[in-house]
């Protein structure tokens, strides 16, 4: 059923065709090529124009306007606003210091001011020449679709010296689409099988030339639709924002490049056919494994098969290898757009399976419906995070599922029954580049700690009485991870950049690795060790490095568990 469809006129095309100004400045959600073309079109009509980016305006100012030749240092006083988090505009400067490694950047917080945000710069060039500059960061205070008051980047215009908000096609498309979905007649959860949001926008991604970073307004629109709709349905159901028990159905924004700016929203049946079949040698894998290969690699391990069925009817398979060792539960693919964990677990399991007395369960893909969606989405945008594939086809996080019908979660419950293990190793990942929601306050609500990559880190949750055991385990695991070639150096680079643009990581450093160790009663297993590698969107050698870190953690955790003194396991 079609809920909404519309085509939008390009914002800058209207200016080129209709503007009667003498001088014009705009800030819009357009790529650089589109803005340059508009400047040229306006110039042909005798209009002096500068068309700037409303998204990450400081980064774009350095890329497009500020003279870099001879630049030695920059002092940046970043704005603060009472309706924004203190470091928000510092975050928006990311990854400037990495883009210009020969330039010394110093960031200082400005006063909190309830006015249009402005970055104030002092540029120092070779020979001692200084230049002062202001970079406007247009924002508006508004109530978003979570019913929260927030400060968001917005379109802006200065026409012959007179400034005002400019409603852009990008913003209009989002607001009108969200309004139509919010106001539809939804009855009860799940509200749909698939809610398809298919849009084309004439905006190209712009690679920044550092790591996996890019300016991608299409990816940002995917993230805005997906998480804003989760918030809308959380509000509708009476749940708190961020509640992962919500089961709206599968929300699928597909944001593609196209010459026209248009959108179509409809409800559909689940895509039950989407499946990938590509193959690579497991030991040299360079991209997310296909579902077919995951199943085949798992079958080679031997042991006893156990299984469950996903919401959309896909088979979820695990293997139980019973032996004389202490048992460990290994799982991957809970969040299906976190791509390195299935390969890492399968590589490690192949090593473990060759040992005498080995004792573990493995499910390398707990969320096959999400994984199938991810494989579908990366066919168009392989470098986008695609958080729509994070949760299950019901739209919930399988770990939080309750009730009699568990679907995907049943595989984990069965693993716990079979192994009766003291340790569950649950492999995860997170974005390999900056994660933003520019139309809802910029920083992803509820996921603030994940907005920038900060290396490979570990989270260890334990029950009451297991603190000493957990500390001994994580000490041993982090010591072993120091032996992974390049991993410490990778972490050091990412953490250093994170600290420049976001402040302290908030982690404890254990043997050089960032860790969070805490008592937590949410799990049935006494200890749950969670890996977090910045793996969303990586391929090639970067992907192999992520897989190597996950593989090493599985082996290190298994060995550390076997080596723990008996008295530490008698809690």
In a domain, 432, yes or no: no
pLDDT of residue 155: 98
- Mean pLDDT, residues 118-140 taken together: 97
In a domain, 286, yes or no: no
pLDDT for residue 274 is more than 80: no
CA within 13 Å, CB half, 313 = 8
Q: What is the pLDDT of residues 68-83, one digit of tens each?
A: 999 999 999 999 999 9
Q: What is the pLDDT of residues 57-115, one digit of tens each?
A: 999 999 999 999 999 999 999 999 999 999 999 999 999 999 999 999 999 999 999 99
CA–CA distances in Å: residue 16 to residues 10, 170, 459: 10, 17, 53
For residues 259 and 385, membership in a common domain is answered with no
Measured distance CA(443)–CA(544) in Å, rounded: 29
For residues 337 and 396, membership in a common domain is answered with yes
- Strand pairing category for 156-159 and 23-28: antiparallel
Measured distance CA(537)–CA(532) in Å, rounded: 14
Measured distance CA(205)–CA(32) in Å, rounded: 10
In a domain, 354, yes or no: yes
Domains in the chain: how many in total?
3
Q: What is the pLDDT of residues 424-435, one digit of tens each?
A: 999 999 999 999
Is there a contact between 494 and 474 (Cβ–Cβ < 8 Å)? no
In a domain, 439, yes or no: no
Q: How confident is the model at residue 404 (pLDDT cuts 50, 70, 90)?
A: confident
End residue of a domain, out of 127, 144, 167: 167
pTM, rounded to two decimals? 0.96
For residues 37 and 105, membership in a common domain is answered with yes
Measured distance CA(258)–CA(564) in Å, rounded: 57
CATH at residue 502: 3.40.630.10
- Mean pLDDT, residues 154-159 taken together: 97
Q: What is the pLDDT of residues 504-551, one digit of tens each?
A: 888 999 999 999 999 998 899 999 999 999 999 999 999 999 999 999
Measured distance CA(192)–CA(382) in Å, rounded: 26
pLDDT for residue 570 is more than 80: no
End residue of a domain, out of 128, 145, 167: 167
In a domain, 63, yes or no: yes
In a domain, 141, yes or no: yes
Q: Where are the alpha helices (DSSP H) in 19-106?
A: 32-43, 57-64, 88-91, 96-99
Measured distance CA(343)–CA(440) in Å, rounded: 35
For residues 348 and 406, membership in a common domain is answered with yes
For residues 338 and 455, membership in a common domain is answered with yes
Across the strands, what pairs with 426? 331, 530
Is there a contact between 377 and 254 (Cβ–Cβ < 8 Å)? yes
For residues 418 and 520, membership in a common domain is answered with yes
Q: What is the pLDDT of residues 29-57, one digit of tens each?
A: 999 999 999 999 999 999 999 999 999 99
Q: How confident is the model at residue 484 (pLDDT cuts 50, 70, 90)?
A: very high
pLDDT of residue 101: 95
In a domain, 150, yes or no: yes
For residues 110 and 205, membership in a common domain is answered with no
- Strand pairing category for 423-431 and 328-331: parallel
Q: What is the pLDDT of residues 286-325, one digit of tens each?
A: 999 999 999 999 999 999 999 999 999 999 999 999 999 9
End residue of a domain, out of 268, 290, 311: 268
pLDDT for residue 571 is more than 80: no
In a domain, 98, yes or no: yes
For residues 122 and 201, membership in a common domain is answered with no
For residues 147 and 219, membership in a common domain is answered with no
CA–CA distances in Å: residue 137 to residues 53, 60, 86, 348, 485: 9, 11, 15, 48, 41
For residues 179 and 162, membership in a common domain is answered with no
For residues 479 and 461, membership in a common domain is answered with yes
For residue 229, what are the domain limits?
A: 173-268
For residues 366 and 220, membership in a common domain is answered with no
């Amino acid at each position: 059923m079609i809920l909404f469809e519309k085509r939008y006129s390009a914002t800058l095309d209207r200016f080129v065709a209709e503007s009667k100004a003498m001088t014009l400045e705009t800030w819009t959600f357009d790529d650089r090529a589109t803005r340059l073309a508009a400047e040229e079109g306006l110039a042909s009509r005798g209009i002096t124009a500068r068309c700037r980016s409303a998204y990450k305006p400081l980064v774009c100012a350095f890329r497009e306007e500020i003279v870099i030749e001879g630049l030695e240092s920059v002092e940046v006083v970043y704005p603060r606003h009472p309706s924004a988090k203190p470091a928000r505009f510092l975050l928006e400067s990311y990854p400037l210091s990495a883009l210009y490694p020969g330039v010394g950047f110093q960031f200082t917080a400005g006063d909190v001011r309830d006015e249009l945000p402005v970055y104030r710069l002092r540029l120092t060039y070779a020979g001692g020449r200084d230049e002062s500059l202001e970079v406007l960061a247009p924002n508006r205070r508004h109530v978003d679709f979570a019913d929260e008051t927030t400060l968001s980047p917005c379109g802006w215009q200065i026409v012959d010296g007179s400034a005002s908000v400019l409603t852009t096609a990008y913003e209009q498309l989002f607001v009108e689409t969200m309004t139509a979905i919010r106001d539809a007649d939804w009855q009860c959860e799940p509200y749909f099988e698939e809610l398809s949001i298919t849009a084309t926008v004439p905006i190209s991604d712009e690679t920044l030339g550092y790591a996996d970073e890019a300016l991608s307004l299409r990816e940002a629109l995917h993230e805005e639709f997906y998480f804003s709709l989760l918030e809308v349905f959380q509000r509708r159901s009476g749940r708190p924002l961020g509640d992962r028990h919500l089961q709206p159905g599968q929300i699928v924004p597909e944001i593609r490049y196209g010459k026209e700016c248009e959108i179509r929203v409809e409800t559909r049946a689940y895509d039950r056919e989407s499946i990938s079949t590509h193959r690579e040698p497991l030991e040299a894998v360079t991209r997310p494994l296909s579902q077919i290969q995951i199943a085949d690699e798992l079958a080679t391990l031997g042991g006893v098969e156990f299984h469950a069925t996903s919401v959309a009817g896909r088979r979820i398979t695990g293997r139980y290898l019973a032996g004389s060792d202490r048992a460990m539960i290994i799982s991957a693919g809970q969040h299906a757009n976190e791509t390195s964990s299935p390969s890492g677990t399968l590589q490690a399991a192949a090593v473990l399976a060759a040992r005498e007395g080995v004792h573990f369960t493995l499910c390398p893909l707990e969320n096959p419906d999400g994984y199938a969606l991810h494989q579908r989405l990366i066919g168009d945008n392989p470098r986008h995070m695609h958080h729509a594939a994070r949760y299950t086809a019901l739209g919930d996080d399988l770990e939080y599922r309750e009730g009699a019908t568990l679907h995907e979660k049943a595989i984990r419950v069965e693993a716990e029954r079979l192994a009766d293990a003291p340790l569950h190793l649950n492999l995860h990942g997170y974005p390999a580049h900056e994660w933003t929601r520019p139309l809802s306050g910029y920083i992803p609500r509820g996921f603030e700690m994940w907005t920038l990559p900060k290396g490979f880190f570990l989270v260890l949750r334990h029950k009451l009485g297991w603190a000493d055991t957990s500390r001994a385990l994580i000490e041993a695991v982090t010591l072993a991870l120091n032996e992974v070639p390049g991993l410490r150096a990778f972490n050091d680079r990412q953490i250093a950049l994170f600290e420049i643009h976001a402040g302290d990581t908030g982690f404890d450093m254990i043997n050089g690795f960032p860790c969070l160790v805490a008592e937590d009663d949410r799990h049935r297993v006494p200890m749950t060790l969670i890996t977090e590698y910045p793996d969303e969107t990586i391929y090639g050698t970067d992907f192999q490095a992520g897989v190597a870190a996950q593989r090493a953690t599985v082996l290190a955790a298994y060995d550390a568990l076997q080596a723990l003194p008996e008295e530490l396991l008698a809690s």
